[in-house]
Structure 1
Amino acid sequence: MDIRAQRPEAGVLFQETRAQVFLNREGLGIADIFITEDDVRFIGENIGILLQYSSISVHAITRDESSFPHSPAVFLLVNEESVNEVDEPTVCEYHIVPGRSEHLEEFYDALCEGQTLNPDKEEGSEGDEEEPIDLRNFTWADGYGPDFLTGASGGQTLGPSGDQNLSVTAFNNLRIADIPVYDPNSVMNGEQNGTESENMEDDGRYDDPEE
């Protein structure tokens, strides 16, 4: 029994009393079901289960008696272990048969709402927002500073990140396409800046010493 599975005092999205609970198609007994804003709880005389939304990979309504004879029921596919801690988490099936079948849709909708309130966190994202890049000490190439990008002539300024104070008009006027692009292929082909390859040939720096 999960000792954390106590009756919730607040945040209940749905409650079903005296539902039948099955784990891997084996009956666990009768329990009250609580779908809360933070988790899912099964609480009965000999049952105390708390499921985090992050552990529930699938939830659905099953009506196929050939698949599960006690249908209709709510089906949960649950990873009992955190996938971040073990290579192959234990996957188990829960079937919950409400006392009244007309509660199935409400039960399912509450699960959907709970999942929405608890989205999975992407790896590497801890909720920390990235700091804007500070361009105050950035060395711009001659003629291609903030004024060039915005087309400003002294009246438009950029914030510390280079774009914090941009208006929509200024953003639309960004002259990104006018910035020359370095093309390494042109250097490899002896076409650097259009004329430098000719200058290198003229000054004899790359003459064959055997000639």
Structure 2
Amino acid sequence: MVVMSSYREPSGEIRHQESNTRAFVNERELGSGTLYIAESILSWKSSTSEDGFSLEYPHISLHAVSKDFSNFPHECLYLMLDADVDNTAEADDDDEEEDNLTIVRFVPADKGILQQLFEALKDCQLLHPDPNDSISEEDEFDGDDGADAISDITIQMNSINNGNGNGHSDDAMDAEPGQFDDAE
């Protein structure tokens, strides 16, 4: 769980900084503040206090520009996190499945900036690939399994190549001896 705390600006290069951005965690509005999309971390700081929060990129499962007013009344930068990020002390323990998923929305005062926020977030997230998404040696083909699959394909291809198009192989055709010998 991440709780609002005393905030420090992110280190490293800041790709985009947007003031007058309201933050929402699940259904709770945290107020207006500044959104920092840095190469190291994504952060938001309240404009009325020293409180804020930071999110590590591998925990951001999905991000998008949302214009769906049926679920949320504002255009926003929508983030789905694979971790519990709750800023209330009274977290509801009845539904444990939702406890592992958090929705964070950033609503900038200037809606025209949403695509730029999305692009900056995408670029920074690419710098921090999820280690659980990489292919391990165990996931790769075993030499024998791969050889069997290639062998099956080769056999099927040879069957097709040896056919003359009407279901008969070249061996079944009547050829006169020496018909295909090279001329001397």
* TM-score after normalising by structure 1: 0.51
Which of 18, 21, 27 in structure 2 is aligned with 1:19?
21
- Listed as ranges, the gaps of 5+ residues in structure 1 are 82-86, 127-211
Write the distance in 1 (CA, Å) between the matches of 2:68 and 2:102: 19
Deviations 1:90-121 (A, max 9, x none): 21111110121111011000110011000111
Whether the 8 Å CA contact 1:58–1:76 is kept in 2: the answer is yes
Whether the 8 Å CA contact 1:5–1:41 is kept in 2: the answer is no
Task: Check if 1:48 corresponds to 2:78.
Answer: no
Which of 75, 79, 104 in structure 1 is aligned with 2:78?
75
Deviations 1:144-190 (A, max 9, x none): xxxxxxxxxxxxxxxxxxxxxxxxxxxxxxxxxxxxxxxxxxxxxxx
Structure with greater proportional helix content: 2
- Listed as ranges, the gaps of 5+ residues in structure 2 are 85-95, 137-184
Q: Structure 2: which amino acid aligns with 1:50?
A: S
Write the distance in 2 (CA, Å) between the matches of 1:123 and 1:114: 17
Q: Structure 1: which amino acid aligns with 2:44?
A: F
Whether the 8 Å CA contact 2:11–2:38 is kept in 1: the answer is no
1:123 Cα deviation (Å)? 7.7
* TM-score after normalising by structure 2: 0.58
Q: Structure 1: which amino acid aligns with 2:68?
A: D
Task: Check if 1:33 corresponds to 2:43.
Answer: no
Write the distance in 2 (CA, Å) between the matches of 1:9 and 1:55: 18
1:122 Cα deviation (Å)? 3.6
Paired residue for 1:93? 103
More relative contact order, 1 or 2 (CA 8 Å, 6+ apart):
2
Across the aligned residues of Structure 1 and Structure 2, the Cα RMSD in angstroms comes to 2.7
Give me the identity figure in percent: 27
Deviations 1:52-72 (A, max 9, x none): 0011101001111122112x1
Whether the 8 Å CA contact 2:11–2:40 is kept in 1: the answer is no
1:79 Cα deviation (Å)? 2.2
1:36 Cα deviation (Å)? 0.6
Following TM superposition, the consecutive aligned residue runs of length 4 or more in structure 1 with deviations greater than 2 angstroms are 1-5, 87-90, 122-126
Paired residue for 1:118? 128
Count of residue correspondences: 121
| Cα distance change of structure 1 residues 122 and 64 upon mapping to structure 2, 3 Å threshold | closer
Paired residue for 1:59? 63
Write the distance in 1 (CA, Å) between the matches of 2:62 and 2:82: 10
| Cα distance change of structure 1 residues 116 and 4 upon mapping to structure 2, 3 Å threshold | farther
